[in-house]
Amino acid sequence: MSSDEISIRVEGLGKRYEIYSSPRERLKQFILPPIQRVIGRDVVAHYKEHWALRDISFEIKKGEAFGIVGRNGSGKSTLLQIITGTLAPTVGNVTTKGRIAALLELGSGFNPEFSGRENVYLNAMLLGMTREQVDERFDKIAAFADIGDYLEQPVKTYSSGMLVRLAFAVQVQIDPDILIVDEALAVGDALFQKRCFARIEKLLSDGVTLLFVSHDQESVRTLTHRAILLRGGQEVLTGSSSEVLLSYRKLLHEEESSYFSRLAPKQTTASNGSKKPAASNSANKGTSLPGRSDNLSFGDGGIEVTAVQTFDADGETCAVFYPGDPVKIRVRCHSTITTDRINVSIRIRSREGIKIYSWGTLNQDMQVLNGALGGEVFWTREIQENEDFDVWFECSCTLGPNLYEIQAAISYEGKPDYTEQRILHWKDEAAFFQTLMRQNEYAFGGMTDLRMKAMW
């Protein structure tokens, strides 16, 4: 790839911190090593090394949207600080091309004693704009921030949401070549987030490079093309956003299973003598299960999804539906344990990777248990060892024309409210179906049909 096409290049990046047990050890490190070198003795370190990042390499093309995901402490913020130049690497190199706008820590670059107006000028001029340019764009900045009379008040009186409004409004008005966003938008209200994402999409269409960090997997999937997954400061995977997010979900599942395995034995016995699944103690060895592809499945095991199919109103297999058509989805399962407290669920995603809907047997059970619906509770049903069973999901098609993916999952729910969940088997790309529209009979625009009526 030509260097002219690269917006950000990271090569062999590493960041090391020296951790001292006491101020005395820090003083020793400052004084003794130079003396030891002079007298020819071995240098003794008085600190412990902590590598926040180690051997990170990737390239981002101009105009590309790139995501960074990982748990807290994985090195995401350290990586961003090095890319923006506010932190120096221990080893490796970072090359960037163009003006960078970075929304990292809330209020960074703001003087708490200055008013919002004064901070707009201060921040924008620090980012390279002239006073005349800020004058020209001030009304747009103020309108986007939309904080009213607070613009004339000291920033120290602002809420976190107001801080990020003002900071984002300034950053996107400097015509950046690279925009870096690190979780900051999570504190804004829903309307402001909508404006921010619309502005980000406009910048992307104008050829701006986006580096986006968020724990919101759907935002990463929707906004970015590629991503990198970090764990303990090291690269786990770099690839398409969908592949990286699946690996991220597996990583979260493995760490959750490892945590539960330290709290519980391999099997626990219920009051009726049946065995219930405990967390796998082999989580760190990988938890892929049989299915369409090992790369698309994970879980603790015990019960697995063996097949997912879609059917029409007559019970015939069908993969194409029109608005109003009945849709039936069958999830076929096989159990190798005896247990209850099981939830079978599905998630429907569009071709673009946007989650449209998720629902499971536990959602219906919750209604039954609360008296809002009659019927049996699946959560209390005892699944037998070596049992094959089906769960059917039925709905009316209200989706717009698109290709849709069905993900299927089986989970053990300690309580009937999703607060104690462990995944036994998760399966991406379990099935696909398509929706079309008969334009001359019934038509609507968008992702879903709200069954709207007009009156006059």
Instruction: Tell me which residue of 288, 264, 267 sits closest to 277, measured CA to CA.
Output: 267
Cβ–Cβ under 8 Å, residues 190 and 30: no
pLDDT at 336: 95
Cβ–Cβ under 8 Å, residues 106 and 167: yes
pLDDT at 269: 44
pLDDT at 410: 96
User: Beta strand 65-69 with 226-231: parallel, antiparallel or unpaired?
Assistant: parallel
Cβ–Cβ under 8 Å, residues 196 and 145: no
Q: Is this structure's pTM higher than 0.85?
A: no
pLDDT, tens digit, for every residue of 53-100? 999 999 999 999 999 999 888 999 899 989 988 889 999 999 999 888
pLDDT at 53: 93
Question: And the tokens for 443?
Answer: 């038509």
What mean pLDDT do residues 299-305 have? Answer: 92
Residue 230: HSE in the Cβ half-sphere, 13 Å Cα cutoff: 30
Confidence of residue 23 (pLDDT cuts 50, 70, 90): confident
Mean per-residue pLDDT over the chain, rounded: 85
Find the helix or strand (DSSP H, E) in which 297 lies: strand 297-298
pLDDT, tens digit, for every residue of 191-204? 677 777 778 888 88
Please provide the CATH number assigned to the domain covering 3-241: 3.40.50.300
| 49/56 Cα distance (integer angstroms) | 18
What mean pLDDT do residues 320-345 have? Answer: 95
Cβ–Cβ under 8 Å, residues 425 and 299: yes
What mean pLDDT do residues 31-50 have? Answer: 83
CA distances from 132 to 129, 136, 169, 354 (A): 8, 6, 17, 42
Cβ–Cβ under 8 Å, residues 348 and 357: yes
Confidence of residue 21 (pLDDT cuts 50, 70, 90): confident
Instruction: Tell me which residue of 455, 352, 337, 453 sits closest to 402, measured CA to CA.
Output: 352
pLDDT at 188: 61
The residue count for the chain: 456
What mean pLDDT do residues 133-146 have? Answer: 87
User: For the packed helices 190-205 and 160-171, what is the interaxial angle rounded to 10 degrees?
Assistant: 20
What mean pLDDT do residues 351-379 have? Answer: 93
Residue range 270-435 forms a domain whose CATH class is mainly beta
Residue matched to tokens 């906004």: 223
| 201/431 Cα distance (integer angstroms) | 30
pLDDT at 431: 93
Q: Is the pLDDT confidence value at 443 over 70?
A: yes
Decide which of 35 and 279 is more confident. Answer: 35
| 258/251 Cα distance (integer angstroms) | 11
Q: Is 194 exposed, middle or buried (0-12, 13-18, 19+ CB in 10 A)?
A: exposed
Instruction: Tell me which residue of 315, 359, 421, 66 sits closest to 211, measured CA to CA.
Output: 66
What mean pLDDT do residues 433-452 have? Answer: 90
pLDDT at 2: 60
Cβ–Cβ under 8 Å, residues 67 and 220: yes
- Domains of the chain by residue range: 3-241, 270-435
pLDDT at 268: 44
Which of 33-47, 88-102, 128-142, 401-415 shows the highest mean pLDDT? 401-415
Q: Edge-to-edge strand order for the sheet containing 48-61?
A: 48-61, 6-19, 91-96
pLDDT, tens digit, for every residue of 259-292? 655 555 444 444 445 556 654 433 333 333 333 3
